[in-house]
Amino acid sequence: MPIASVASTSDAGLRSLATTAGQDLVGGLLRTDLWGRLGWLDVKRRYRRTLLGPFWTSISLAVYVVSVGIVGAGLWHQNIQEYLPFLVSGMIAWLLVSTMINESCTLLVTGHALFRNIKFEYSILAYALVWRNFIIFFHNLVVYVVIVGALKPELIGFTALLAIPGVILVAVNGVWIALLCGMFCLRYRDVTQIVGSIIQISMLITPIFWPPDSLVGSRRLLFVETNPLFHMIDLVRGPLLGRVPGSISYVVVLLITVAGWALTYQVFSHFRKRIAYWS
């Protein structure tokens, strides 16, 4: 989090009268000028003095997808024109979800110097985290357009627009994940390593590199049907592959959204006033 950027903002503009979790969440959301600028400045800070800026991430993704795609197509006996679009659409969705989760672990840890000295809504940090990752997502979307446009341009159609509600649902979940993980990792620093390990393992057991249909029976039930990360990714990847996501994916993600926000609100309400002292 670009602390210097926040500190340069007028103190009066940052001060908040929020005394409850609900006021914090709503008040922070309404500060689009602040969290929007924070997210944008953080992207600029990360790629300062580089020629291509955040497009370096897109270039790295393109090289990775093409390299792994050539090998994966052979391993899974897939047509390269089918497998590369599958891989690139899955990777851009996975990077969006996994990066938000990983960065959530350091959200309040890196922001402790800020909120110990300036009174403002904690939720602003979560909104800024989600926003900056969506900026990177739209940069990575260029890789999808280039690869799919070259190999299977018919996938870029009206069905692809169904990815928009999927992306919105991911964003809504990203905020509560950022707050919940941020609080746990601030209080118990070991949680950061645990979450990082889980994400690494999840990348392999979630159908990103391998087709979901390659598993049947109990293995499919375990690694596909009951895998919440698969359903989140499917809401974005499905439309990008010209396919309407299954209704089960919408149901699962909506249930996760409701349950996640309910849990986060309870935890945030109970521990919000202690956050500054945990750091």
Q: What is the pLDDT of residue 6?
A: 47
Q: Would you state the structure tokens that stand for residue 82, as one six-digit string?
A: 């089918």
User: Considering the domain boundaries, does residue 15 fall inside one?
Assistant: no
Q: What is the pLDDT of residue 277?
A: 78
User: Considering the domain boundaries, does residue 253 fall inside one?
Assistant: yes
Pairwise CA distance, residues 230 & 7, whole Å: 39
Q: What is the pLDDT of residue 53?
A: 67
Q: What is the pLDDT of residue 97?
A: 95
User: Considering the domain boundaries, does residue 14 fall inside one?
Assistant: no
Query: Would you tell me how many other CB atoms lie within 10 Å of the CB of residue 254?
Result: 14
Q: What is the pLDDT of residue 7?
A: 43
Q: What is the pLDDT of residue 233?
A: 95
Q: What is the pLDDT of residue 209?
A: 92
Q: What is the pLDDT of residue 159?
A: 92
User: Considering the domain boundaries, does residue 173 fall inside one?
Assistant: yes
Q: What is the pLDDT of residue 56?
A: 77
- Look up residue 75 and give its amino acid: L
Predicted confidence pLDDT, tens digits, the chain (279 residues): 444 444 444 444 444 556 788 888 998 898 888 888 888 888 878 777 766 766 778 888 999 999 999 888 888 788 899 999 999 999 999 999 999 999 999 998 887 767 667 777 889 999 999 999 999 999 899 999 999 999 999 988 899 999 999 999 999 999 999 999 999 998 888 899 999 999 999 999 999 998 888 888 888 888 999 999 999 999 999 999 999 998 999 999 999 999 999 999 999 999 888 888 776
Q: Would you state the structure tokens that stand for residue 122, as one six-digit string?
A: 């904690």
User: Considering the domain boundaries, does residue 233 fall inside one?
Assistant: yes
Q: What is the pLDDT of residue 244?
A: 93
Q: What is the pLDDT of residue 4?
A: 43
For residue 51, the enclosing domain spans: 24-278
Domain tally for the chain? 1
User: Considering the domain boundaries, does residue 213 fall inside one?
Assistant: yes
Q: What is the pLDDT of residue 83?
A: 92
User: Considering the domain boundaries, does residue 49 fall inside one?
Assistant: yes
Q: What is the pLDDT of residue 41?
A: 85
Give long-range contacts, CB 8 A cutoff, 24+ apart: 65-72.
65/91, 65/143, 65/147, 66/147, 68/209, 72/209, 72/210
Burial 33-46 (b: 16+ CB within 10 A, else e): ebbebbbbbbbeee
Q: What is the pLDDT of residue 234?
A: 95
- Look up residue 2 and give its amino acid: P
pTM of the model: 0.87
3-state helix/strand/coil string of the chain: CCHHHHHCCCHHHHCCCCCCHHHHHHHHHHCHHHHHHHHHHHHHHHCCCCCCCCHHHHHHHHHHHHHHHHHHHHHCCCCHHHHHHHHHHHHHHHHHHHHHHHHHCCHHHHCHHHHCCCCCCCHHHHHHHHHHHHHHHHHHHHHHHHHHHHHCHHHCCHHHHHHHHHHHHHHHHHHHHHHHHHHHHHHCCHHHHHHHHHHHHHHHHCCCCCCHHHCCHHHHHHHHHCCHHHHHHHHHHHHHCCCCCCHHHHHHHHHHHHHHHHHHHHHHHHHHHHHHHHC
Q: What is the pLDDT of residue 185?
A: 92
User: Considering the domain boundaries, does residue 107 fall inside one?
Assistant: yes
Pairwise CA distance, residues 171 & 136, whole Å: 13
Q: What is the pLDDT of residue 240?
A: 95
